[in-house]
Structure 1
C-alpha cells in the first residue's frame, strides 16, 4: 500500500483540488477552548432541589409520563 503511494507520479494542481464539502474538519481545531462560566460542562453535580424552581417545573413537564 505504501509502495503504491511512493511509486505514483507527482500530482498536478488540478488533481489536488478537492470538494471542500467532503472534508472532515475537527470542530475542536477550528474553535479555541472557552472557559465560559455560563456553560454547564457536565462535570459538576448539581442536586435537583438546588436548581431554579422554574427549571425544575420545566423538567418535570418534559419528562412527565402521560397516560
Structure 2
C-alpha cells in the first residue's frame, strides 16, 4: 500500500490500520492520489520494485547497488 502522509481524505493511521499485514509505504507529504502528485516518479519506482519482487520472489535480489 502506498499512502500519502498529507492525505486529507483518509489519515495515514486509518489506512495503515485497515491494511494491517500489508506492505505499507508512506509518501512523505503525499496527498490522496500519490500517483498524480509531485512525487509520482518515486511512487512509480516503488511500484515497479514491488512488481519485480512478485516476479523474482519475495526477497528481491539487488538490482542496483552502490559502486
* Coarse TM-score class (shorter-chain normalised): under 0.3
Q: Larger % of strand: which? A: 2
Which structure carries more helix by proportion? 1
TM (norm. structure 2) is 0.26
Work out which structure has the larger RCO, using CA pairs closer than 8 Å and 6 or more positions apart in sequence: 2
| Structure with bigger gyration radius | 1
